[in-house]
Every structure is written in structure tokens, then in C-alpha cells.
Amino acid sequence: MANQDDNLLKKIISHAKEYGFIFPSSEIYDGLAAAYDYGQNGVELKNNIKSFWWKAMVQMNENIVGIDASIFMHPTTWKASGHVDAFNDPLIDNKDSKKRYRADVLVEEYIAKIEGKIDKEVDKAAKRFGDSFDKDQYLATNPRVMGYAEEIASINKRMKEAIEQENLAEVKKLIEDLGIVDPVSGSKNWTDVRQFNLMFSTELGSVADGASKIYLRPETAQGIFVNFLNVQKSGRMKIPFGIAQIGKAFRNEIIARQFIFRMREFEQMEMQFFVKPGDEMEWYEHWKNKRIQWHKTLGLGEDNYRFHDHLNLAHYANAACDIEFNFPMGFKELEGIHSRTDFDLKAHEEHSGKKLQFFDPQENKSYVPYVVETSIGLDRMFLAVMTSAYKEEVLEDGSERTLLKLPAALAPTKVAVFPLVKKDGLPEKAHEIIDLLKLDFSCQYDEKDAVGKRYRRQDAVGTPYCVTVDHQTLEDNTVTIRDRDTMQQERIDITQLHSRVADLVSLSRLLKQL
Ligand code: GAP
């Protein structure tokens, strides 16, 4: 069942701020729309997600290597990639509210309302029929639901044709025909629809006159394409092989909202896999399976993922799908897997005049490889992890706790160490334990307040294990270790602590399951 919980998103936003995960950017100046800063816990969680992705893609695959290309690239890159001419959103303004919207999103939201009606009908029928309810049969036979589905199909068809033919007047007409009103003013007083390029531009050089216009990259992928031959030759890579990269990307999104879901500055984790032409569909299926396995290994809930095949393929793709996650706003794109043919390398060959080909010794010929790409937004992955981890629990004694049930390997702090009291040599012993663990694990020392309160603070930031040093520790060298999720405590010898924690929080435990 899809989340549709504005409240959950609000709770995550305020929890993320209160506990040092994410702050609004430049907040002392009232913030900057759709820009966020990762705080002391956020940066650790983000780095751990990066590390899991990097190890799964680069370290675990002999034929994948990583790069870190610069954000600024030669401006012709973006001409070749099609971003200068075609990386546009269709925009429409409401004349009364003066608010600007993406025309396609207005239509999508209209469709989402119809989908909501279908969901309601299904829920009602499921209650009415109980165990004998067959959802697929109901969807295929109920006249009202079928009517809604037909309405959706006809809107999608009109929109697809209008966009493909770049018929912006028809997009406006569709909005008018559907009677879509501005959510702010309630008015239907719309401007014409026009295209708006999403790339941020700036000038290279100090004097504006002699400067040339360059762009902040809107995707990291192009840094990989232009380095294809550098990496292939210097690494003596043989097809099939992949190049992976994690880095910032920038898009001047008109509706940047829903927290870190849609930002103007964000991070991508992308991998381009270069294959022999004709083999691309096999590799496309391979990477679909590999990527969904990566997600499922994290244990965020298998039902929270689904594939969404692209029906409207970009002109350069011969297959594409999204991995969608059940965010608080419902199922939305988290990752894209695209079979991009030889479009990008060929376009860079044409614009640069340089050959970007691979000599295949088995075939005894050179060719431009085809590319299968996996592209995931790091910030969206962060939101997915927070969405699944955020829990409010009522305990047996009636008290409440808010916790982040983060996968242990991703948690910002792995072990918190508490002296029961601030005297009798217990703080010194607690610091000794931290010294024992901190080479391998991020640890936190906390001696303030009662132990119960300290547990709650660590629950709220997702620390999987809390170790308490008490007077018995001084006698027999044992401590209690408390599990975040079960809240069970166990007494163990300090000498066992390192291996116990390592076993529980290590990334390799996850990597082994891939
Ligand atoms: N190289 C392919 C590419 O960039 P995309 O579908 O435009 O494809 C890939 O973007 C991923 O980047 C998306 O699935 C999403 O997770 C993330 N992403 C895209 N735009 C974003 C934005 N404005 N804010 C946050 N993440 C974004």
C-alpha cells in the first residue's frame, strides 16, 4: 500500500533537523529554497550509503572502476549530450497567483487524483469481499474503475503526443479541458506553456566580455562518457566494463519541493556499463536484478520497492525503467536504469572529432560500445532510508520512544558508550573502551542525564548498540550491550566487544548477500 502521509514527511523533516541530520541551507538568512545542508549525523549516514554503493559497484566487480570528474566541463559536452537543446521542462504560470508550475506535473497530479479514486474503490471492495477479493479481476471488470483507467489512458496519450510533437498549445489546451485549477488561487487563468532549460549556467573567466558560458553539470554521466577512452586505455579495460562515479549535479528545478526529494543541487551515484552492441538487453536485465538486490539487502522492506517501465522512451534509449520507492508522498522514482544505446559516445565523437571506440580482439573490429546506465540519487536514497527507519513506539510501560531503525551498517554512530555515573573511575573506563573501538567504528561518549534518557537520544539517531560501564565492570571487566531494536541488554566481556560489534555492523555482512 502506497504511503500518502504528509504528516510522516513533516515528522521526518523536523526529526532530521532536531537530531543533526539535515538543516535548511543558510537558515540564519531564512534559508534558500530546495537547498539543504547535511549535519553531523546526516553526513555520516550519507557517507555510509555512498560507501555501500561504491563497494557494491566498484570493489565487488572486477570489471568496474571509479572516477571523479570535474563539475565544470567543456560547454560542447552539453551540446553533444542534447542538454542545451532538449533538457527542458514545460512551464505554465497562473496569472492570478503569479505562481509557476510544470505543466506536465499539473497533469500528473490530476491523474494521481483519479488513481486515488481507483484505490478508494479497491479498498471498499476489498472490505466488502474479504478473503475472496481478487484485485486484478476487480480492476479488469468493475465498470467505474475501468472508466477511471480509460480516462487516465486517454490523458496520458494526449500528453505524450503533445510533448513528442512539441505542441505546447495542445498541452495548455489539455490543462484547460481537464479544468485544472491553480492549487493556490483556485483560478483557471493560465498563461501559455513554454519551455525552460534546467541547466544552471555561469561564465568562465574573470572578465564577462571574454568569458565563455559554461554549465554546472546536470548529470554526472557525461563526465564518464568523455573519459571513456582514458579509462579504457589506462586501465586496459575489456568490454564489457563499467565506470562508476559519485558526485554533485545541478538542475534549476521549477518545483523543487518535498524536502530532499527534488533539489536544485543534489548528488548522483551513476554507473555506465559499456557493452557490445546487441548484448545490451541482456545487461539491462542483469543490472535491473543487481540493483534491486542491492536495495533489498538493506532491508528497508521489500514491499516498498517496485519497478516502473518507461513507456515514453527518450529518443536515445531502447529500454528504461525506474526503481520506485514508497516515500511518504507515495511511490516515486528513486533510481533509473537505462539502456542508452551508443547515443552519447557517438554524439561526443561527432562533436569532438575524436574516435570513442573499442577494438574488440575477438571480433577483430572496432565499434562504439552500447551503454547500460544505473543512476540513483543519493539524497533520494537518504530519504528512502529515513522513511523506512523512522518509527514511533509505545513501550510496555506506556512511555513512548522515537527511533531510527537504520540498517546497522549505515548508522552514523555504531556504538555509544556510557559510564553509569560520572565518578568512581567509570568515565575513564568508558574512554578506554572507546579507544578500543574507535579505530574501526564511529563511537560516541555520553555521560549526561540518566541512562534511560541517554538510550532515547541514541535511539533517535539510530545508534544500534549502547554499551554501559558500571561498577561491576571494574571488578570483572564486563559491560552491558543494549540492542536498539529489541532494547535487550546482555552482559559481555570487554575483550569480546570489538568482534561482537564488528559482526553486527559491518558492511561486508551486507556485501556478502549481493
Ligand atoms: N544520467 C541519467 C540521469 O541523470 P535522471 O532520471 O534524470 O537520469 C537519475 O536522474 C536520478 O537522479 C533520479 O532517479 C533521482 O534519484 C536523482 N535526481 C534527479 N533529479 C533530482 C533532483 N532534482 N533532486 C534530487 N535527486 C534527483
pLDDT tens-place string over residues 379-422: 999 999 999 999 999 998 999 999 999 999 999 999 999 999 99
Label residues 372-393 b or e (16+ Cβ within 10 Å = b). bbbbbbbbbbbbbbbbbbbeee
Q: Could you tell me if the CB of 262 is within 6 A of ligand 1?
A: yes
Of the ranges 179-193, 252-266, 327-341, which one carries the lowest mean pLDDT score?
A: 252-266
Q: What is the helix, strand, coil percentage profile of the chain, to 5? A: 45, 25, 30
pLDDT band at 207 (very low <50, low <70, confident <90, very high): low
Provide CB contacts within 8 A for 9, sequence distance 6+: 258, 259, 327, 328, 329
User: Any bridge partners for residue 417, and if so which?
Assistant: 445, 467
d(CA 71, CA 500): 42
Q: Which atom of ligand 1 is nearest to the CA of 219?
A: 4
Residue nearest to atom 7 of ligand 1 (CA): 219
Output 47 or 206, whichever has higher pLDDT. Answer: 47
Q: Which atom of ligand 1 is nearest to the CA of 335?
A: 14
Q: How many Å lie between the centroid of ligand 1 and the Cα of residue 498?
A: 39
Instruction: Check pLDDT > 60 for residue 309.
Output: yes
Q: Is 485 left (phi over 0), alpha (psi -120 to 50) or beta?
A: alpha
The angle formed by the CA atoms of residues 88, 162 and 116, to the nearest 5 degrees, is 90
* Nearest-CA residue for atom 20 of ligand 1: 262
pLDDT of residue 4: 57
3-state secondary structure of 335: strand
8 A C-beta contact, residue 292 and residue 285: no
Q: Are 348 and 356 in contact (CB under 8 A)?
A: yes
pLDDT of 320 above 80? yes
Ligand 1 lined by 267 (C-beta under 6 Å): no
Domain spanning 1-68+216-394, CATH architecture: 2-Layer Sandwich (3.30)
Closest residue by CA, ligand 1 atom 14: 335
What is the CA(61)–ligand 1 centre distance, in A?
Answer: 24
Q: Could you give the C-alpha distances from 95 to 175, 192, 287, in angstroms and in order?
A: 14, 10, 46
Q: Give the pLDDT confidence score for residue 302 in this predicted structure.
A: 94
CA distance linking residue 196 with residue 88, whole number of Å: 5
How far is the centre of ligand 1, averaged over its atoms, from the C-alpha of 489 (Å)? 42
Is the minimum distance from the CB of 333 to ligand 1 under 6 angstroms? yes
Task: Please indicate whether residue 268, judged by its CB atom, sits closer than 6 Å to ligand 1.
Answer: yes
Cα–Cα distance for residue pair 391/388, rounded to 1 Å: 8
DSSP string for residues in 207-265: STTT-EEEEB-S-SHHHHHHTHHHHHHHTT--SSEEEEEEEEEE---SS--TGGGS-SE
Strand partners, 38: 22
Distance 423 CA to ligand 1 centre (A): 52
Which atom of ligand 1 is the closest one to the Cα of 218? 4
Considering only 2-11, 109-118, 169-178, which range has the smallest mean pLDDT?
A: 2-11
The pTM of the full predicted model, rounded to 2 decimals, is 0.89
The whole-number average pLDDT for the span 179-193 is 94
Q: For ligand 1, what atom is nearest to the CA of residue 334? A: 16
Report the candidate in 355, 324, 347, 326 with the shortest Cα–Cα distance to residue 337.
Answer: 324
Whole-angstrom CA distances from 352 to 231, 234, 347 are 17, 20, 8
Which pLDDT score is estimated for 105? 87
Top CATH class of 396-511 equals alpha beta
- Check whether 377 has a pLDDT greater than 60: yes
Give the atom of ligand 1 at the shortest distance from the alpha carbon of 336: 14
How far apart, in whole angstroms, are the C-alpha atoms of residue 392 and residue 381? Answer: 21
pLDDT at 1 over 80: no
Cα torsion at 246, 249, 255, 258 (round to 10°)? 20
If you measure from the C-alpha of residue 469 to the centroid of ligand 1, how many angstroms do you get, rounded to a whole number? Answer: 46
pLDDT band at 313 (very low <50, low <70, confident <90, very high): confident
User: Per-residue pLDDT tens for 287-300?
Assistant: 999 999 999 999 99
What pLDDT is recorded for position 316?
Answer: 83
Residue type, 174: L
Nearest-angstrom CA–CA distance, 281 and 289: 12
Q: What residue type is assigned to position 313 of the chain?
A: L
Between the CA of 270 and the centroid of ligand 1 the distance, in Å, is 10
CA 378 – ligand 1 centroid, Å? 9
Q: Give the Cα separation of 365 and 378 in Å (integer).
A: 38
Residue 46 Cβ < 6 Å to ligand 1: no
Under the phi-then-psi rule, with left for phi > 0, alpha for psi from -120 to 50, and beta for the rest, what region is 330?
left
* 3 state SS for 48-116: HHHHHHHHHHHHCCCCEEECCCCCECCCHHHHHCCHHHHCEEEEEEECCCCCEEEHHHHHHHHHHHHHH
For residue 210, the model assigns a pLDDT of 59
CB of 266 within 6 A of ligand 1: the answer is yes
Q: What is the DSSP string of 285-333?
A: HHHHHHHHHHHHHTTS-GGGEEEEE-SS--TT-SEEEEEEEEETTEEEE
Answer for the pair 375, 336: CB distance below 8 angstroms, yes or no.
yes
Domain range list for the chain: 1-68+216-394, 93-188, 396-511
